[in-house]
Amino acid sequence: MQIIDFIAGNGAWSWVVGGLVLLALELVLPGGVLIWLGAAALVTGFLAMSVSIYWPLQFVIFGVLALIAIWLWLRFRGPGIVSDRPFLNQRAQRYVGREVVLDEPIQDGNGRLYLDDTTWRVHGPDLAAGARVKIVDADGAVLRVEAV
């Protein structure tokens, strides 16, 4: 109840100070959400300065503004960071679609394949060594293959 008493006693200035604190926290803890909460608090504070608004309505205004601001930010923000190396931590995914020749046979659905500098486990139909296969999926460190 101390927060409610503080806001009721200090009125609009508590929203302005709270908004500035949230904007400052965005500098320390970047993520994009605190900036919109801070903006909603500042707008609520300036609105409360210009028009006499009872404190429960101030909370409603802040909540609505915060939800609208975050929803708009999530809806209209760009695609984020586009990497020049999209498979950096998904090494097996870069082999999907590639056709290779089996070094060892696939028996009982499992086998091994030497690709670039790594021996990969493969899963697919039983095939003899030397058969040509296409990598259709990667599940962790297991490449799923089909006969070509």
**Helix, strand or coil, per DSSP, at residue 7:** helix
pTM: 0.53
Positive or negative, the CA dihedral 34, 83, 89, 74 is positive
Cα(127)–Cα(132) distance, rounded to whole angstroms? Answer: 9
pLDDT digits (tens, 9 = 90+) for 98-140: 999 998 999 999 999 998 888 999 999 999 999 999 999 998 8
All structural domains of the chain, each given as residue ranges with its CATH number in brackets, are 2-76 (no CATH), 91-147 (2.40.50.140)
pLDDT tier at 1, thresholds 50, 70, 90: low
C-beta separation of 58 from 44 below 8 A: yes
E strand or H helix at 125: none
Positive or negative, the CA dihedral 15, 17, 21, 26 is positive
**What are the Cα distances from residue 35, in Å, to 40, 62, 73, 121?**
9, 13, 10, 47
Cα(31)–Cα(8) distance, rounded to whole angstroms? Answer: 30
